[in-house]
Amino acid sequence: MDYSILKLKGLLEWHIERRPEMRVQDVYKLLYQGVFGPKHSLGLNVREALLEEIAQLGHTSSHVTGEEETIERVSPDGLVIRVNLRPLLVYNRAEIDDELYERKLDALVECLIISAESTRGSLEEFLQMWSDFKMLAVSYPKWGFGVREIEEFEASVKAKDYPPVHHSDVYVELYKPAYRVMLAGVFNGIYSEVGLSYLEEELRGISRSLKELENFADEVEEEIKRFSRK
């Protein structure tokens, strides 16, 4: 990982600006995802779980400051991302035909599986980033993370050997998180393939339509000539 404390500061400020009520628990989850990727969050039925969550998102919205973006960095180097499901698959559902929608779902599942198999984070790497966060939190009190809050939370996760955690109740209530974590390179590669292949099929369809129009025009022209000769 191309890591520096300045990049970590930039990552945290970006998320805090959009979700100012995030708690220490949410920072921990952010950093954990940035190091370990989606491996800890994948179950056996990846596609079914995705469909169930999407079905519940139609009437929800996130109170994120500004527009909810499709992609958000969760690692300082930008190699690990969150892909938000609402802007990707919900908000524009009426504009996507069923075939492309299914391709997007399949592509997302493929991204998750490949990312989980490819992510190689270490506890040492995570603890270094967590230590840097604690130092930054003291240097930037405007972020709102108190020393006592950090120490109490750290003691609770340390006792369990630093496990993955859920978002805080406040975060869930305000921001309605609905995303999947994956590698940026995997997402960009697979989704560009989906988009290009779909576009190619659309272009082939247009070409077929144009050819049919040309044939029809030829037939009309022949009919006109035949009629003129009469």
Number of independent structural domains in the chain: 1
Pick from 3-7, 92-96, 128-132, 155-159: least confident = 92-96
The answer to whether position 10 is within a domain reads: yes
Highest mean pLDDT among 18-22, 114-118, 120-124: 18-22
Percent of the chain with pLDDT over 90: 47
* Phi, psi (degrees; rounded to nearest 5) at 76: -55, -30
CB 77 within 8 A of CB 37: no
Confidence (pLDDT) at 203: 41
The answer to whether position 155 is within a domain reads: yes
The answer to whether position 134 is within a domain reads: yes
- Predicted confidence band of residue 172 (pLDDT cuts 50, 70, 90): very high
Tokens of 7: 């990049």
Averaged pLDDT of the chain: 83
The answer to whether position 75 is within a domain reads: yes
Range of the domain at 137: 5-184
Residue 172 vs residue 198, higher pLDDT: 172
- Predicted confidence band of residue 155 (pLDDT cuts 50, 70, 90): very high
The answer to whether position 56 is within a domain reads: yes
The answer to whether position 191 is within a domain reads: no
The answer to whether position 213 is within a domain reads: no
Confidence (pLDDT) at 61: 65
Amino acid at 164: P
pLDDT digits (tens, 9 = 90+) for 121-152: 899 999 999 999 999 999 999 999 999 999 99
Which string of DSSP letters, residue by residue, matches 117-154?
HH----HHHHHHHHHHHHHHHHH-GGG---HHHHHHHH
Percent of the chain with pLDDT over 70: 77
For residue 73, give the H/E element and its range. strand 71-73
The separation between the first and the last C-alpha atoms of the chain, rounded to the nearest angstrom, is: 81
- From the list 4, 7, 183, 177, the residue with the least C-alpha distance to 79 is 183
- From the list 140, 178, 143, the residue with the least C-alpha distance to 64 is 178
> HSE (CB half, 13 Å, CA atoms) of 187?
22
The answer to whether position 104 is within a domain reads: yes
In angstroms, the CA 18 to CA 143 distance is 12
Residue 221 vs residue 63, higher pLDDT: 63
**CA distances from residue 16 to 89, 98, 204, 218 in whole angstroms, order as listed:** 25, 36, 46, 64
pLDDT digits (tens, 9 = 90+) for 43-98: 668 888 888 888 888 666 667 766 788 899 999 999 999 999 988 888 777 777 88
